[in-house]
Structure formats: structure tokens, C-alpha cells
Chains A and B, each alone.
Chain A
Amino acid sequence: MPEWLHSLRLRLRALIRRPQLEQDLQDEMAFHLAMREEKERQAGAPADEARIRARRQFGNVGVLKNRTRDVWIWPWLQDVGQDTRFAVRMLYRARGSTLLTVICLGVGIGVSTAIFSIVNALLLRPLPVAESDRLIRISRGQETALSIPLLRAVGSGTRSLRAVAGTLSMESDLAIDGESQFIGAEFATANYADVFGVRPSLGRWFVDDREPVAVISDAIWERYFDRRPDALGRVIQSGTDSYTIVGVAPREFAGVRAPLRTDLWAPIETRFRSTTEAEERRLARMLMFFGHLRPGAHAREATTELNTLAIQMRDRSGSTPEASTPLLADAVGTLPNPGSRRLARTLSALMGAVVAVVLMIACVNVGHLLLARGALRQREFAVRRALGASRARLLRQLLTEALVLAVAGTLCGVVFALWAGTILERSLPLAAGIFAIQVDLSLDWRALVFAAGICAVTTVLCGLLPAWRVSGMSGMLVAQGSVGASARRRPVGLVAQVVMSLVLLFIGASFVAALLRLHAMYPGFAVAGRLYAYTFLPSPPFAPDSRRGVYAQALDRLRTLPGVRLAAVTSSLPLIPAGSDCASLSPDSPVRVTSSAVDPAYFEHAPRNPGATPPFTGAR
């Protein structure tokens, strides 16, 4: 064992068994004195004289005991222990204000930690997959990154990539036992699980791009199958296909649309073969590609390699070179979807600002409480200074008190954050609308480190100024009774507090105002008196051809209902695009647009210049 480790072990033991150490020191030195005394007596000294000689020979027992104790327990640690004990006693004596302070800090730190846990879940915590640092996303600006032939060519690995998977993330329907609902689904290549390092918590992942099998999410497993293992082998429907359940994805894995939850994973070909060619081209543009780097390989190498391969493939196929941005492979990090990532960043910056202000207000509040308490204790500090305590010593004492408060506040805050986290997690589905959202807001080590950091910051922020002021007061002045000489300076803190409260109030008010404005704003389409409902027709029994009839019938019936003036059908609501497409005005500048299939009545809801004709009138 290295010497320092041995020492540390002994030091810790001494620290834990402090009373034992004291007893041993006492016994050891008493034994020495007794032996020496005995020897002096044997040499003929009288009993009193023998004791005095033994003591003289030994030296100052108290001092030597202290020096020996210092060998075991670092002197600074002894001071900290002493300060802490004293601080706890002082805080206990002023229970009322201590409780108030702790609650104030607890709420401040709790809110901050709860908000941090959101940022943590969205931006900091890596994707819950094996070797998440080697997972990369392959993209090409707004275009399809890899053509299907290229995906086939690189799927089973290249020099820098172990495997490349493609996945089509889309909204779909899922029917289980006749009950159907909207879900997020992914149609992926068979090596998807391998690339993401996802191990099903039950059953297996699909191994073939064509087999009609599916993996369901933990949430679906719980909701429809009560977590029973006999869910495997059950048949479910999605789109026009039936799938046999072969596996259940681990609970923490939400898929590539995170924080929106994917509920169904099925082989890619099962989706492609069931659609028309035009639809297939559209779907291919929505594919997302992910790769898993070989050990030691870097995303930059993968980028270079993939671009080279893409150019080779294009040359070989002899197709005309199209204007295209080069491929880019970059680390996935926390959220696979770049859109979600951008949104999460904006959201986090906003929330970070709110956290800072909340925390500042809590600190200023607590600082004032401490200052007020310090003012009451000026006599105590005056006496201590008169007795020779240095300013640094008093400062340390006061900071220790602030630290004890901050630690208590942080513990209180962590409990608060745990509670707030569960509430938030429960209310998330409300925010996400019809799609399930899955964010893990549990407090992990990052959140705890954050809380500890905040604890340290609050200690300094709310403890330092009052401590500096109180400890700096002249002992004489205070003893004579001219207390409160510094009271005139207090308004500075007060002003800061009011300013920050106002800022927070203003931010809150402007959010509410924005919300009200959004409600009042005319979004370009009529919203008053409009209702919408999501629906879809499972197939079988509704073949694609019969669907139009079904919808037409439904619309006719809706229109005859009393109170219904108009009824229309669309594939997506305004502002909530369901899919994207490419349109081009000239051959070399494809533009990404979102498209909706609508029926003519839809435009009755849209604003038009009076007298203008609707864009189209009949179904084609």
C-alpha cells in the first residue's frame, strides 16, 4: 500500500473514532508520567517532588497532546468541525429565522434543480444507449443523405463505420385488439438495434428488413399487455400491415424522435412495399441515417469516407450529377433529431436565465435575513474581537453558518426538486398533445453536482457580504452601543432585490401576454368556432380505394348535423405539418416544402380576398 493511502486510512479511522483517539492520547501520556514518577520515587524523591519532576521532564501535557492530535487530524478540519458545531447551535437558537431561511433557499434551489433536470434530460445526458459517444448522425443539409443503393453499400460497415442504419420516423396508427391510436413509429433497417446498441428488455429485435414483426415500446407493453411476457407473438396492425410482436424496447430508449416517444419499431421494407412509388420517394426523403464508429475512428473520417463513396457510386451509376451539399457525419450526443436539439437549446437558454434570477432573489432574501441576524449579534462579535479573534476568524465562522444554512436549504431543495420532477413528468403528456413525450427527469449525478454547485454559490453570495460587514465592525463602536452604523448601506441590496423581482415579474408577465396575444392573433386561418378531430382508417378492412368514400360519407353526414356549417378533411393541420416534400421551380434548386392533402371545403376555413376563387374545387 502506498504511504499516502496508508496515512489516509489511519487519518479517517482517527476521525471516525475521535473519542477513542482522545482516550488513547490521555492514557499513553498518563502512563508515561506514572512510569517516570515511579522511577523518581525509587530514586528517593518524595511523592510530591517525584510528580513535579516527572511533569517537568515531560513538558506541557496539554500542548503536547494538541500537537499529537494535530498529527492525526488536520488542524483545519478540527476548526471546521468546531465552527460547524457552533454554527448549528447558533442557528438552532434562532429557529424561526433559520426555518424561514432554509425554506427560502429550498424553494430557490429546488426550482433551479428541477429546471436543470429538464436541461439535463434534453441537452446533457447522453442517449441511453451503449457507447453513445460513437453514435453519429449522417445528414446532407435538407436533402436525403444516402440513396437506398448507397445505404445498402455502407450498411454493413466501412473502414471507419461499423454499421450504418436508416430509419423512417413517422406518425402512424397502431391497432391492438381493435383499439387504435396515433403513435410515433420507426421503420428501420435490421441493424438499427446494433447501431444504437439497444437491447430489448424482452424478446428480440427484428433481424430482417422484410419480416412482418415489430418491437413495441415499454409504455405500449405496459398499457396494453400489463407487462405480461405473452405479449410476444401477439399480432398488431399499423398502416395497412399486420405485425407480430417479437420484442419490447427498453423503457429508457425513446427512439430517434426523442423527446417524443416512438412506440413501434418495424422493418423498413414493410413500410416501403405497401406504398405507391410516389409515396416511396417521399418517404425516402424522410429517412434518417445513423452510424456507429469503429473504435478509434472519428466522425471526420466517416464524413470523408462517405462522401468519397457517394461520389464513386454516382459516377458508376452514370446519373447526372445533381447540385448537392456534401454529406456530414456528426456526433448524436443527446437528441438524435437536430430540430429537437435546436428547440431544446433555445428552451434551455431561456430557462437558464429564469433559474439565475430566481436564485439571485433567494440569495438576496437570505442575505438580508443573515444581515439582520448579524446585526443582533454585534455585541457577541465585538466581545470576540476584543478577546483577540481576528476578522478572518469571525468571517470564517459566519461563512460556516451560511454554509450550514445552504446545505440545509439544498437538501430541502433536492426533496422539492424530486417532487417537482414527478409533477412535471406527469404533466408532460398534456404539453405534447397527441404524441407521447418521454423525458427522464430523475435527478442523476449531474443534477446533484449542479445542486452542490448552487449550494456553494449561494453560500458565497448570501453569506459573504453580511459576514464581511458584520465582522468588520469596530469592536469599540459596537461595545459602546452605536449599533447599526452600516444600516444606511442596506438599501443597495434591497434595491437589487426589488429590481430582480421586477425583472422576473416582467418576464412572467410578457409570457402571459404573449400567450394571450397568440390566442387573439389571427394565424392566417379561422380558428373561432372550429373543432378538429384526429381520425384514421385502419386497414383491413378499409382498402386504400374505399377510404375516399368513407371520408366523403363521413363529411356528408357531418354537414347535415345541425350547427355544423362546414366540414373538411386534411392530412395535417395548419402549423402542424405531418410530412415534408420537395418542390422545385427550376430543376437545380429543390426546396423543401410541407404538404397537406386537403379537400376543397378546407379552403372555406382559409382567409381569402373577397371574391377570389378557392385554389381548387373538385377532388382529382
Chain B
Amino acid sequence: MKTKMIGIFAALMIALMLVGVSYAMWEKTITITGTVYTGVVDVEFCGVTVSSDETKVVSSWDAVVTDPEHITVTIDNAYPCIWYKIDADINNVGTIPVRIQSITVTGLPTYAEYTLSGAVKGDQIDTTAMVTAGVHGAVDFLPFDINIHLKNDPMTPMDDSFTFTVSINCVQYNEYKP
């Protein structure tokens, strides 16, 4: 009887062992490794020129892309009733299309006025890769111009200077808020 019990226990252990081995054999792990390379939102100025509607050479100017994100313009010997035109290009050098979210002008005195054409809120600038790939309608640069005019205003001071700033905020195209 005692031998019989030992035999049953041993058989049970062997059966359990066999079952355990069979579970280990019938599992499989599949691994997915994901790598995400994020794109880049990057725009820069790629050129600037200044001109005017003067009929004589009276004023002079200097325009420099001081760094890719900043243009510095100096107009010297300016006077009323002349339009000074700053032409510049924005180039999308990133990998994500962008849209202009806002254009702000600060520091312009009341005796001066400006117009801006070629770039408005919502304009999209695609990437060079999209243009190279021949995506229909894709453009990777946006030319625009800022026109400055000193009014015929008694408050317009002679022999003086003022500085104003135009900031163009570009956001990834799908984050644009109308």
C-alpha cells in the first residue's frame, strides 16, 4: 500500500513536470521597437533689399540678414512723402510645413505708416523637400514687402530717428489657429 502511494505521487510529479514543460514550449514573445524621428519647424530669411520711389538720390539705406532669423534695416536721411520698400523672402528650411500665425509691428511712431503685402496671416510655406518631390502647389519660400512712409505731419521730426520691429510668427501648419 505504501509502495502504491509512492508510485502515484511520483507519477503525479512527472505528469505535472511534463505539463509545465509543455507551457514553456508554447509561448512566444513578439517585440516591436518603434523609433520616432521628429521633424523640425524652421524658417529663416534668405534675402532682403530696400528701394524707394525717390526721383533723386537723397536717402540711403542698408539692409542685412544679421542672422537667419533677423533682418536689420537702416534708412538714413529719410523725409516725408517718400515710400521706402523692404523686400524680403522667408524660406522654410525645416521639415514641417508652417503657416504664418501672426505678424506684429511695434515701435512705429504715429507720424509714420506702413503697408505689408505678400505675407498675411494663414499663408503656408512648404518645405524644400515637398517642392523637390513635386508636390502640387508646394512653395518653400514666401516673398513679401514692407512699405514705410513718413506722413506730411507737422509732428514728423527732422534730424531724428525711430526704430520699429516687425515680427512674423510661424507655427507648424496643423497648429495654425485662424
Partners in one complex: no
Residues of B that sit less than 8 Å from A by CB: none
Residues of A that sit less than 8 Å from B by CB: none
